[in-house]
Structure 1
Amino acid sequence: MPMPRLRIRLSTVLAGAGLLVPGCANPGVGSAHDDPAAPVTLTFWHGWSTAGERKAIDDSVARFEKRHRNITVKVVPNVTDETMNQALRASGDDAPDVVSSFTTNNVGQYCSSGMWVDLDPFLKKTGVDKEKVFPRTFLDYTSYQGEQCALPLLADSYGLYYNKDAFKKAGITRPPHTMSELKRDAVKLTRRDRNGSYQQVGFMPGFRLYQNSPDRMFAQWGPAYFDRNGKSRLARDPASKEFFATARELTAAQGGYRPLEKFRTTFGDEMSAQNAFLTQKLAMHMDGEWRGLMLRRAKARFAWGTAPMPVPDDRADTYGRGYLTGTVAGIAHSSRHQNAAWELVKFLTVDTDQVVRFANAIHNVPSTHAALKSPRLDTDPTFRTFLDIARNPHSVALPPSVNGGQYVTALQDFSYRVEAGQVPDLDAGLRGLDAQIDSDNLQSEN
């Protein structure tokens, strides 16, 4: 099954271990003077781990080697960001040439530390116009302060999965488009037994549920996390209060935080056959494009569909938007074969046929304009929902930061306290959150 992006807290661990501090790497040990046509063996580290994903990568590399007879690629799967960064800091003979990561939040650190090389010279040298190849949002999360140290290698978009059978039973004819419609439908879809215990919840907004990280729902408001000077501005953005007010309203309308949280503890593991949407304990659920493949493989016992997540009522014209993230690929600063490594990165990220075949193989969203329009893409309409979300000009990704995803972790922890009713003054709480994020960023810069 495709790998969801669940490693949000990893950047905090790495920063605390001194693995991602700007300036900690030695960008000068590699070389961009190699002949890409000379015989060479490259090492490619990636994080995919399941049999299907690994086969898709191996097939991709085989296609590359067939085109580049002089280059042999040694593929190392299931590599974590922590392992990769330790190797890049050491810069030994076993360090990789081509690297990839699921953690887009860390791109700011990859760029500012110099551990991943700037790809703009390679793009220019080989005539690749990145603005024409990649959607703007994808370029935003693969660069930092003007340095393009990574390129997108497939993407994820988040939307709404809904139980069509439950909708029909409740007399609902289409998925909700706005947050008020979401609340209305969630109440209609919530069912209890004779004792008042939940049998099914319409939509659970709890931030600890599966993919319900607050930044993903917050994307429907299109927030600006930082100002021009890099200072956190969540307290100054009216969308922040609107977002938390909406989450509170959704919770209250379906019974309150404590009953919903108690029900959540009865859910099975997200990636198991006991997933709460699969077992029909949830009638609607936010998730990524990979969930559809999992539902089909599990032979879900109900009809289901996909749609974009609802948007705030006063932003109804942005319906179709969503949260975007993805895998990123780059060249290790320590590689002595950077031109040959670029040929592999370029093939994996730019070549339309390769991007489409890889996207179909692991059921992820392709990451180039041409691939998104390709007639060879999976034609399943439930999957195409996520392609449309990726193409929507209002869709957003998290902005890069010098301390990676540490600001997202701070937002998560704050959100847990808000939903539990532990933040009586939301304005003051948001100001404190801004101060914490700014302090964390300052420490990373120093």
Structure 2
Amino acid sequence: MRRESFRRATAAAVAGVLAAALGACGGSDGGDDDKVEVVFSYLWAGAEAEALEEIIADFNASQDEIEVRGVSNPDFQKQLTSMSGAQGSFDISDHFGNGVGAWASKGILAPLDDFIEADGLDTDDFVPAAMSQMMYEGQTYSMPIALHAQLLMYNKKLYAEAGIDGPPETTEEWAEQIAKLTKRDADGTITQLGYANAEINTSFTTLGVMFGGAWDDQSGRPTPADPGNVAGLKFYTENIPGTYGVAEVRDFTSGFGEYASAQNPFYVDKVATIIDGEWQSVFIDQYAPNLDWGVAPLPYPAAQPELAGTTQVTTSTLFIPRNAKHPEEAWEFMKYLLSEDAMVRFTLALGNLPARISLLDDPRYDTLPQFSTWLDALRSPNAQSLASTPWSAEYTSDLGQAFDDIAQQRTSPAEGLADVADKASSYAP
């Protein structure tokens, strides 16, 4: 069935004849013989999957040519296995933006540019930092359905106890606040930390961009030793392990409860500030509804006010595998998911940010506590994302090891990131 069958009655009639012939030959995908079955293999599970299934049901009810069957399959390896064969087991799926380049370079993703052009999809309405991850060698291989932005979250109760009026504007102010918000008992044991990483890889890459660093150049080649990256990680080591001791910080953080639980250290007053994403608006309402918290733009170095509004953007994306049985129909469903109404419903259910600029003022997001600060962050010209390249996974792994060594002060930020730069020079072009 061709894409034009959704617009022209003559093509629809031809497609109907072909579908009937295939059905007579045992070629039906099952279900309603008058519909083409599109398999949507998605990574979400639990409540998120339930919300997605409602949207799938609405799409199926909205037209009579396609029947989407959702399959919750949170396993990247199974995705890759399916996409490596001559004919895949699904027609559309989701991934994360930093993986687009790696998968596109393997030839397992279908380019979307012809679909985008034919339907006049306005890609300018999508946040630029997100769209930059959708491209590989000048072609579009994925589209963003939801975004995530890193901002500074702070515990208002701990701020009040420390006599601090509000969140910092500059990194210098933040360093002073971290000192006031960190507590130790008589024997030096840490009982409260002014700042702790919610997740070290994302927190450290965000610290780098906060100080004007870039983890990739314009061509996508890794630039881990950028001076701004070094300065960001130096800020952490000087203000946390360098001040309070590696062993002491490790002992304190080893007692942290599960991230997605009521025992999250930020929820139970063990940590005063964190860098984290918009989903916390939903998490806090679920796990710590009585927490008095706030969220603010990331601080910037006082000498670099042009960095105000910096944030790191990550993306949840939709793609069509090159070996999909029904790519045209999969695109019709992808368009539906990317439509304004479906995108709002989907991101609200997950507590994520919309990928469309036109939705940043949508009043439906007012139901999520303090969500507007994250929405506003996407408007900033300093919103940026890591490059999506064939070597993204290798680079991420090397950075992860270096970040751990730096946090444990087994190496300095300059030495650790220089070592990653040496490794990155051998990544395949």
Could you tell me how far 1:250 is from its partner in structure 2?
1.4
Residue 419 of structure 1 and its aligned partner are, at CA, apart by: 2.6
For residues 103 and 409 of structure 2, the distance between their equivalents in structure 1, rounded to whole angstroms, comes to 37
Q: Quick check: which has more Rg, 1 or 2? A: 2
CA 305–430 in structure 1, closer or farther in 2 if over 3 Å, else same: closer
Q: Which residue of 2 aligns with 1:409?
A: 397
Q: Which residue of 2 aligns with 1:432?
A: 419
Paired residues of 2:44 and 2:72 also in contact (CA < 8 A)? yes
Which aligned pairs between 1:83-122 and structure 2 lie closer than 5 A? 83-92=78-87, 95-101=89-95, 103-122=96-115
Cα distance, 1:364 vs structure 2? 0.5
What is aligned with 2:37? Answer: 41
Q: Does the alignment pair 1:185 with 2:185?
A: no
Match of 1:284 in 2: 273
Question: 2:235 — aligned with what?
Answer: 246
TM-score normalized with structure 1 length: 0.84
Listed one character per residue, the Cα deviations across residues 88-134 of structure 1 (whole Å, up to 9, x for unaligned) are 11244x61101111x32211022222211111110001111312x21
For residues 128 and 212 of structure 1, do their structure 2 counterparts lie closer, same or farther at Cα, with a shift above 3 Å needed? Answer: closer
2: CA distance, partners of 1:386 / 1:211: 20
Separation in structure 1 between the aligned mates of residue 314 and residue 203 of structure 2, nearest angstrom: 13
Question: 2:163 matched to 1:171?
Answer: yes
Paired amino acid for 1:296 = D
Q: Name stretches of at least 5 consecutive residues in structure 1 with no aligned partner.
A: 1-30
Structure 2 residue aligned with 1:332: 321
C-alpha spacing 1:359/1:46, structure 2 compared with 1 (3 Å): same
Percent of residue pairs bearing the same amino acid type: 28
8 Å Cα contact 1:35/1:339 also seen in 2: no
Native 8 Å contact 1:44 1:99 kept in 2: yes
Closer/same/farther in 2, CA of residues 141 and 78 from structure 1, 3 Å limit: same
2:345 pairs with 1:347: no
- Give the number of aligned pairs: 403
**AA aligned opposite 2:114:** P
- Deviation per CA, 1:373-412, whole angstroms, max 9, x where unpaired? 3233235451111111122210111111112332122112
- Structure 2 residue corresponding to 1:234, chosen from 218, 224, 243: 224
Q: Any idea what SS the aligned residue of 1:90 has?
A: coil
The amino acid that maps onto 2:151 is: G
Q: Residue 65 and residue 75 in structure 1: after superposition, are their counterparts in 2 closer, same or farther (change >3 A)?
A: same
Letter in 1 for 2:82: A
Aligned residue identity for 2:55: S
What code does the residue aligned with 1:394 have?
N
Instruction: State the TM-score, normalized to the length of structure 2.
Output: 0.88
Contact 2:110 2:322 in 1 (8 A): yes
- Distance in 2, matches of 1:175 and 1:55, equals 37
**Partners of 2:199 and 2:147 in 1: CA distance:** 22
Greater shift in the superposed pair: 141-150 or 414-423: 414-423
Deviation, structure 1 residue 240: 2.5
Asked if 2 retains the 8 angstrom alpha-carbon contact of 1:49 and 1:77, the reply is: yes
Helix, strand or coil for the counterpart of 1:391? coil
Shift of residue 314, structure 1, vs aligned partner: 2.5
SS state of the match for residue 141, structure 1? Answer: helix
CA RMSD of aligned residues (A): 2.2
Match of 1:10 in 2: none
> Is structure 2 residue 201 aligned with structure 1 residue 214?
no
- Which sections of structure 2, spanning at least 5 residues, go unmatched? 7-11, 16-34
Partners of 2:425 and 2:271 in 1: CA distance: 37
Q: Judging changes above 3 Å, is the alpha-carbon distance between structure 1 residues 135 and 370 closer, same or farther for their aligned structure 2 residues?
A: same
- Which of 376, 382, 389 in structure 1 is aligned with 2:364? 376
